[in-house]
Amino acid sequence: MKILLDECVPIQVRDALRDHNVHSASAPEWRGLTNGELLIRAEQEGFDLLVIADKNMRYQQDLSKRRIAILELWTNHRPTLEQHSKRIRSAVSRIAPGELVQLSEP
């Protein structure tokens, strides 16, 4: 699966997703895009999943017509996410195209 981590998601989350092709929106070519631009470009570039920690995206964007799946994390605190890498992997393995999955605080 081709996965894009939003700018606010710690790059270390990719360690939980070693079986996937993971990129970060903190790379220069992605930096500063609005959420709408990020979604469009991610889909155009063939990403299957966008991992975010932005709890507002679902209210700010019309996600109903999106092909890309979105995994919304409950935090962007790196040490916390590292403790829950198994939970993140499990959510990624079950997510379907176009689906928004919200991982709530454990």
What is d(CA 36, CA 23) in angstroms, rounded to the nearest whole number?
A: 18
pLDDT confidence band for 12 (50 / 70 / 90):
very high
The pLDDT of residue 81 is: 96
Determine the structural domain holding residue 58 and report its residue range. 2-102
The pLDDT of residue 59 is: 86
Does residue 73 surpass a pLDDT of 90?
Answer: yes
Domain count across the chain: 1
Copy the structure tokens of residue 51. 């991992």
| pLDDT per residue as tens digits for the range 81-96 | 999 999 999 999 999 9
**Owner of token pair 């990020």:** 38
Whether the Cβ atoms of residue 45 and residue 25 lie closer than 8 Å to each other: no
The pLDDT of residue 97 is: 96
